Amino acid sequence: MNLVDRVRDAPTDDEGVDAARTADRLDALRRFLRVVDPYLPDHDLVAAHTLVERAGNRLALSREHTVVALAGSTGSGKSSLFNALARLKLSPVGVRRPTTGVAHACVWGPLEPASKLLDWIGVLPRQRFLRESALDGDDEATLHGLVLLDLPDFDSVERGHRLEADRLLALVDLVIWVVDPQKYGDRILHEAYLRQFRRHAGVTIVVLNQADRLSSSDTDLVLADLGRLLEADGLGGAPVLATSAKQPGMLADLRAALEQTVAGRQAALRRLAGDLETVGEQLAATMGPPAAEDEVDRATVRQLAGSLAASAGVPAVAEAAGNAYRQRAVASTGWPLVRGLSRLRPDPLRRLHLGTAPVQGGAGPEPGVDAPPDGPAPVARTSLPEASAAQRAAVTLSVRAVATRAAAPLPPVWAPPLNTAARSRAGDLPDALDRAVAATDLGLRRNPLWWRAAGLLQWLLTLTALAGLGWLITGYALRALGLPQLHYPAVGAVPLPTLLLLGGLIFGVLLALLLKPVISAGARRARRRAEQRLRAAVTEVAREYVVAPVREVLNAYAQAREALIAVRSD
C-alpha cells in the first residue's frame, strides 16, 4: 500500500481532518517536490521531504498507537508527570538539572506491536516500559494504545538534549507542553517552539504543572496569562490545563484528554494535516503570481534574435544575397559580351559557402564528404567570420535578459534556475546558428523568368547587330576585291545593315540601362527577403536553445504552484 493510500485508509476525523483530503494534500506535496526538486535549493525543501517520508513511515508502522510526548524546559516536571501518569517510577526525577538526557517511553497495552514504532522513533529498548499490569484491572484500559514519551529538556545547556528533543518533536503525534509557574512565559519556549507549532493546535496540550504550589486564584491568574501568550503564539485553540505531579487528583483532566485522544486514534492524521499546513506555509515563499501566458514576451525574444543574428553574420549574408542577385542578374541579362566578364567574378554567396546546400530539411553533405549510409547528413558549414567579442557579449546579455524577464514576476528563488536554463545550451548556440544560416533558403535558387527573357532579347539584339555588321563587312570585302557590289536595301536614307548594326547596339545598351534600376530594386528585395528568412531561422534557434529551456522551468513553476495550492487547500 503506498503512502497516499495509507493516509486515505485512515479513519476520518469527526472534527474535521478528512483522511481522503489529507491524502490528496500529501500527494500534491509529493508532486510539488518532484517538479521543483531540480530547480530549488535543497535547504528550502528539507522540511517537505522529511514530512513526506515521515508521514509514510509513521502511518505504515501503526495506526493503533498514539505517540504523545511530554516536552518542556528543564525542571518543569516532565519526568514527574510521566511517572505520575504511568503510576510507576520509570523516569528518574532529579535535583541536579538537567536530569533526563534520553527519551523514556511507556506503552499502555502490549509492548510488542509498539516496538517497531519505538524503533523508528528511536527510543532505546532499555528505556521502554510497559503499563500493563494485572493489578490495574481495567483502570488503564482507556489508555490502551498510548505511547507516552518523556523528552529531554529543549532549552538544555546540553546540546545533545536539545537535538534529541527536536528530533522527537518532529516524530510524535501529540505534544504535551509542560510549563511551570516560574517559566511559562519563557521566550525560547514561545518563539522557538510554540509558535512553530501554531498549525498543530489540534495535537497540542499545554499544562501548567506544579499548580499545587499556587493558590487557586493564582492558578487562575497564571492560566489566564498563559492563555494570552498562547493566543499570541497562534495556539489559542489548544487546551490549557493546570496539573500537579504531586497530587494525583490534579491529573484527572490531563488523563481525560489523553483518553479521548487515544480513543479517537486521530492524532497521527491531525499531526500530518498540521505538518502539511506548516510546510505549505513555508513553501509559499517559493511561489508568486501565476506564470504569464506568453512567459517570455515577444520584445525580449526579438532582442535576443537580433543579437544572435548579428553574431551569426546575418547582415553579411543578406548583403551577399543582394550582391549575388545583382551579379547573377547582370550575368543573365547583360550585354552578352559583358556577361562573360561577370561570370568570371566569384559568386558572393558561394564565397561564404552559402547557397550550395540543398535547402529542404536543413543542410546537405559538404562537397567531397559522403553522407553516412544512415544517420544525419553532415552539416554544411559556412565560411562566415566568427562572432566578435562585442557580439558575443551582446548575445550573453540578451540571453540573461530572457532569464531576467521570465524571473521578474516570480519569487527570487526562481532567478538562478531560470538563468541556468537560459544559458544551458549557450555552448551549442554558435554551431546551431551556423547550421541554421547554412540551411536557410535565401530565395535565390531559381533565376527569375524575366532574366531569361531579357537575356534572350539581348542575344537577339546582339545577333541583329552582328548580322548588320556581317552584311556591311561582306559589302566592303566585295568592293575591295572588285567583285559585283551588293545593293543594300534602305529604310529611309539609312541602309538596312547599318540600321541593324546600330539598332542592335543601341537597343542592347538601352535595354541594359533600362534593366539596371529593375535589377537594383530586385537586389534590394532579395537582400530583404534573405534577411527576413535568416532572422526567422535565427529566431527559431533562439526559441529552441534559449527560450525553450526557460519555458521548461516556467512550466515547472506553474505545475508546482498548482500542486502547492492543493497542498494548502484545507
Ligand X SMILES: Nc1nc2c(ncn2[C@@H]2O[C@H](COP(=O)(O)OP(=O)(O)OP(=O)(O)O)[C@@H](O)[C@H]2O)c(=O)[nH]1
Least distance in Å: CB of 244 to ligand X?
Answer: 4
- 104-107 vs 146-150, strand pairing mode: antiparallel
- 104-107 vs 128-130, strand pairing mode: parallel
Q: Quick check: 98 binds ligand X (CB under 6 A)?
A: yes
- In the shown chain, the binding pattern of residues 101 to 140 toward ligand X, with x for contact by CB under 6 A and - for none, equals ----------------------------------------
DSSP bridge pairs for 105: 128, 149
Nearer to ligand X, 80 or 327 (CB): 80
Q: Quick check: 80 binds ligand X (CB under 6 A)?
A: yes
Residue 97 interacting partner from ligand X, Mg ion, none (CB closer than 5 to 8 Å by kind): ligand X
In angstroms, the CA 313 to CA 373 distance is 32
Nearer to ligand X, 249 or 361 (CB): 249
Count of chain residues binding Mg ion (CB under 5 A):
4
Q: Quick check: 208 binds ligand X (CB under 6 A)?
A: no
> Is the bond into 98 cis (omega within 30 degrees of 0)?
yes
Nearer to Mg ion, 78 or 561 (CB): 78
Least distance in Å: CB of 88 to ligand X?
Answer: 14
Q: Which residue has the cell 484545507?
A: 570
Residue 246 interacting partner from Mg ion, ligand X, none (CB closer than 5 to 8 Å by kind): ligand X
Nearer to ligand X, 209 or 333 (CB): 209
In angstroms, the CA 238 to CA 149 distance is 20
Least distance in Å: CB of 182 to ligand X?
Answer: 11
Q: Quick check: 77 binds ligand X (CB under 6 A)?
A: yes
Among 62, 66, 99, 266, binds ligand X (CB under 6 A): 99
What residues from 397 to 416 belong to the interface with ligand X (CB under 6 A)? none
Radius of gyration of the chain (CA): 45
In angstroms, the CA 222 to CA 240 distance is 11
Q: Quick check: 76 binds ligand X (CB under 6 A)?
A: yes
Least distance in Å: CB of 152 to ligand X?
Answer: 6
Q: Quick check: 219 binds ligand X (CB under 6 A)?
A: no
Length of the chain as a residue count: 570
Nearer to ligand X, 74 or 333 (CB): 74
* Pair 438, 337: CB distance under 8 Å: no
Nearer to ligand X, 72 or 306 (CB): 72
Least distance in Å: CB of 154 to ligand X?
Answer: 9
Nearer to ligand X, 22 or 99 (CB): 99
| Residue 61: closest CA among 143, 140, 159, 171 | 171
Provide the CA 66 distance to its chain's centre, in angstroms: 40
Q: Quick check: 78 binds ligand X (CB under 6 A)?
A: yes
Nearer to Mg ion, 78 or 568 (CB): 78
Q: Quick check: 303 binds ligand X (CB under 6 A)?
A: no
Least distance in Å: CB of 93 to ligand X?
Answer: 4
Least distance in Å: CB of 207 to Mg ion?
Answer: 14
**3-state SS class at 392:** helix
Count of chain residues binding ligand X (CB under 6 A):
23
Least distance in Å: CB of 178 to ligand X?
Answer: 6
Residue 266 interacting partner from Mg ion, ligand X, none (CB closer than 5 to 8 Å by kind): none
Q: Quick check: 62 binds Mg ion (CB under 5 A)?
A: no
Least distance in Å: CB of 226 to Mg ion?
Answer: 21
**3-state SS class at 128:** strand
In angstroms, the CA 100 to CA 154 distance is 11
Nearer to Mg ion, 27 or 153 (CB): 153
Helix axes 548-568, 415-423, angle to 10 degrees: 150
In angstroms, the CA 351 to CA 77 distance is 92
Q: Which residue has the cell 503525534?
A: 173
Q: Quick check: 97 binds ligand X (CB under 6 A)?
A: yes
When CB distances to ligand X are compared, the closest residue is 77
In angstroms, the CA 430 to CA 433 distance is 5
Q: Quick check: 210 binds ligand X (CB under 6 A)?
A: yes
Nearer to Mg ion, 78 or 529 (CB): 78
Nearer to ligand X, 214 or 379 (CB): 214
What residues from 63 to 102 belong to the interface with Mg ion (CB under 5 A)? 78-79, 99-100
- Residue 313: left (phi > 0), alpha (psi -120 to 50), or beta? left
Least distance in Å: CB of 183 to ligand X?
Answer: 11
DSSP bridge pairs for 147: 67, 107
Alpha-carbon separation of residue 417 from 41, 149, 393, 555 (angstroms): 9, 43, 21, 12
Q: Which three cell numbers stand for residue 358?
A: 540543398
Report H helices in 153-293: 159-169, 187, 216-233, 252-264, 267-283
- 66-72 vs 174-179, strand pairing mode: parallel
Which window, 95-103, 418-426, 462-470, 517-525, contacts ligand X (CB under 6 A)?
A: 95-103
The set of residues, in sequence order, having a beta carbon less than 8 Å from that of 46 and lying 6+ positions away, is none
388-426 exposure pattern, b = at least 16 Cβ within 10 A, e = fewer: eeebbebbeebbebbbebbbeebeebbeebbbebbbbbe
Residues making contact with ligand X (CB under 6 A): 72, 74-80, 93-95, 97-100, 153, 209-210, 212-213, 244-246
Residues making contact with Mg ion (CB under 5 A): 78-79, 99-100
